[in-house]
Amino acid sequence: MQLYKTRDFSAFFQDTFAFIKQNGGHFFKHFFIVNGLFVLLLMVLGYFFVTFYTEMVFGGLTQNDPNVMDDFINENSVLFLFVMILFLVASILFGIFMYAFPVFYLKLYRIKGGKNFGTAELITEYKENLSRLFIYVVCAILLGIPLIMVFAVIVFVLFITIIGLLVIPFVMAILMLFYYLALSEYLEGKMGIWDAFGYAWKLLSSKFFPAVACAGLFYLMSYIIQNVITVIAYIFGLVQLFTDSSGGNPDPEAVGGMMTVVMVISFIGGFLLGIFLNNIVLLNQGIIYHSLKEEVENIHTKDVIDQIGSGE
């Protein structure tokens, strides 16, 4: 698929799904090879948090002691703090690596003329751009402080109106797409970080409404799918719970066991589904990035003209 290509609103959708259909297996295979350790670590830590939480909550109900969780945390404060820090560090690292993966993948896809690359090339991209990723994160946080304050006010105003709720994903899409465009441009290595943020706004402004509308719809679809799956899991758990307890008073231990199973399944399923959907959202933004670059710089058009000239 040609990445540098002028696209309209419908083409953003069509080419995103076409790219996933053609390259999705290759993409996710190498994603889990590169990021598999972080995924596994977060799943294990999340499993322990979920089981700990449900056991403490329902253990407190069984023992008629609402302070059972506080007592456990106070008695194991060092262990609890260590696990929390480990979870936080792993989450941040995984978030950065996952966010950058589609950028590196599309960059190699463009350079290699297809999916003629593997894990080694992707890891090399990470190694060569570690300092840039660190600089990007720091500057993104600094820039994000005023931006998030402004967007938080906008989201709050929209949140109190029914119609405004439907607009929130598109408001979020402006911010997230802006950050993705800046990262993609910065990792090209042709400009500094602040120039990359400035250029990202230039790209976004070149076709603002089609780009934001498409990115916003992808965020909205992702949000709906994840929440529907979570709701289905909890409904199944409640149905099973009422079925088991229909003959009399439910056993608190049985209730706790059932809710633990439901929450663990919901967490693991939601976590893996979130990874899958988030990558689709980022791939869509990658398609938008290359399209906006073509819109502003005519990269593919110039290459075609140069090839015609060299052929003559």
> pLDDT tens digit string along 266-277?
778 888 888 999
Q: pLDDT higher for 127 or 154? A: 127
- Residue 33: count other Cβ atoms within 10 Å of its Cβ: 13
Amino acid identity at 3: L
104: pLDDT strictly greater than 90: yes
95: pLDDT strictly greater than 80: yes
119: helix, strand or coil: helix
300: pLDDT strictly greater than 70: no
**Domain range annotation of the chain:** 9-130+209-311
Q: What's the maximum distance between 2 C-alpha atoms anywhere in the chain?
A: 88
3-state secondary structure 207-218: CHHHHHHHHHHH
What is the pLDDT at residue 188? 87
Best CA proximity match to 8, nearest among 205, 285, 295: 295
159: pLDDT strictly greater than 90: no
Amino acid identity at 86: L
- Residue 122: count other Cβ atoms within 10 Å of its Cβ: 20
What is the pLDDT at residue 163? 67
- Residue 154: count other Cβ atoms within 10 Å of its Cβ: 17
Amino acid identity at 58: F
Per-residue model confidence as pLDDT tens digits over 62-94: 555 555 556 666 666 677 677 778 777 777 888
Best CA proximity match to 36, nearest among 94, 109, 107: 94
What is the pLDDT at residue 139? 92
101: pLDDT strictly greater than 90: yes
Best CA proximity match to 288, nearest among 136, 180, 145, 140: 180
What is the pLDDT at residue 245? 54
83 touches 48 (CB < 8 A): yes
What is the pLDDT at residue 153? 82
Mean pLDDT of all residues in 243-260:
59
Total number of residues shown for the chain:
312
